[in-house]
Structure 1
Amino acid sequence: MDASQRPGGGEPGFEPSRPLESFVETARRVAVEPAAFFRGVTNEDRVLPPMVFAIICGVVSAALGIAVEFLAPVDLGPFGGEAFGPPEAVSGQFGGLALAGIALAFVVLAPLFIVLGLYIGSFIYQILVRIVVGRDNAGYWATFKIYAYTSVVSLLSWLPVVGFLATLYGYYLVFVAVREAHDTTPARAAIVAAIPLLFFAASLASGFLAAGA
């Protein structure tokens, strides 16, 4: 069986008709077998499956992040406050109507913002690909798939420390994906992945400096 194909045959990548099984398998392949995955998914014409995959990753990550932020017990003792748990955290910060509004906004707006971010982020990456790789690249939609599928690392972004490491791993996935999907040299793929990484590192450094000031 071709390594670029899903188990059972058919197109590579996420298959919305089998959401749970396909999502788990696709996430595993992107994270563990990125070279084979992106080598095969480049030839797939469909754009909706990677978009849906990215939406699921983003929504799950955001939901878990909100749960940790507002529902996990927080101990403010060291800062002169009192410890409070899930009921106090929710009732103390939101009324019932406001909480319902937040839930509605999350359900409706989160996917819209994720899709918007996909198109904008893919466009920025495609500019880098066009400059570094040159005219002979697989085009915008190949980059769109790269940006969509590498969002798998966002599933861990809500975890302290682990989320940071997952973000760094995401840049490695971009390197592999650009190399395979755009059929370019490792050096050029590394440059495409390194430029956003440098901006990420610079933003972290500025944040630490601002916190220490």
Structure 2
Amino acid sequence: MGYVDNVKSVLIHPSEFFSKMPVTGGYAEPAKFAAINLAIGGLLSGIVSFLGLAAALSLFGLKGVGAGVDSIPISVVASIVGGLVGLFLGSGVIQVVMGFLGGKGTYEGTVRVFGSTSATQLLTWIPLVGILAGLYGIYLNVVGLAQVHGVSKLKAFAGLVIPIVVLIILATVFFAATFASVLGGLAATG
């Protein structure tokens, strides 16, 4: 199956796609697929950002031509690098959580799910549609994780949500401790 066929299949027929998706074969294929999606999404996001900046500057009588054009290649590189790091690190976190939830899949299978669902990056640059694409990406991850790990979609969804909840709790505790420390320091000096 070629690149375009994979994009269409994962976006339009996710259950069928993930039931046929190989869970072995290495990391190069899902990383390459994700990198292409991230590059295209990053390029289009960079162009939209540039055009938005140029339009905003023109409202104030400023010439927007050339302003921020360097943001386009930066957007592409940042999207690819950040996305691939996120692909492998995020898959590791989700793999651990799925194991606690009874998932039987492998880390490689999890990477392949997230690599495949990166196809939603092709839509995230479109204002408002990007939000819907992000939500659809969550659904695609649930379908893929349920298939790869042999768990219910509810458990697959929990596998995505639990790390976010833990991160929010840790951030809240950190900021509360920092705030308390600052207040304690102020009280001691006052």
Q: TM-score range by the shorter chain?
A: 0.7 to 0.9
Within the alignment, does 1:179 sit opposite 2:146 as a pair? Answer: yes
Match of 1:192 among 159, 163, 170: 159
Within the alignment, does 1:165 sit opposite 2:132 as a pair? Answer: yes
Which protein has greater RCO, CA pairs closer than 8 Å, 6+ apart? 2
Q: CA deviation at 1:195?
A: 3.7
| CA deviation string 1:49-104 (max 9, x = no partner) | 11101001111111001101113551468xxx5266xxx3243446xxxx4xx666
Match of 1:56 in 2: 36
Letter in 2 for 1:118: L
Q: CA deviation at 1:105?
A: 5.3
Match of 1:28 in 2: 8
| CA deviation string 1:174-205 (max 9, x = no partner) | 1110111111123312322344676899xxxx
Within the alignment, does 1:74 sit opposite 2:55 as a pair? Answer: yes
Deviates more, 1:187-196 or 1:54-63: 187-196
Q: CA deviation at 1:31?
A: 0.8
The count of aligned residue pairs is 168
Q: TM-score, normalised by structure 1?
A: 0.67
Indicate if the aligned counterparts of 1:50 and 1:145 stay in contact, CA closer than 8 A. Answer: yes
Within the alignment, does 1:130 sit opposite 2:93 as a pair? Answer: no
Q: Radius of gyration: which is bigger? A: 2
> Secondary structure of the residue that 2:26 maps to in structure 1?
coil
Match of 1:91 in 2: 66
Q: CA deviation at 1:158?
A: 1.0
Q: TM-score, normalised by structure 2?
A: 0.74
What is the alpha-carbon root mean square deviation over aligned residues?
3.0
Match of 2:181 in 1: none
Structure 1 gaps, min length 5: 1-5, 7-21, 202-213
Measure the CA separation in 1 of the matches of 2:6 and 2:80.
20
Structure 2 gaps, min length 5: 169-190
| CA deviation string 1:112-170 (max 9, x = no partner) | 33322211111121122112234xx1210000101111111111111111000000011
Q: Which has the higher helix share?
A: 2
Measure the CA separation in 2 of the matches of 1:55 and 1:32.
20
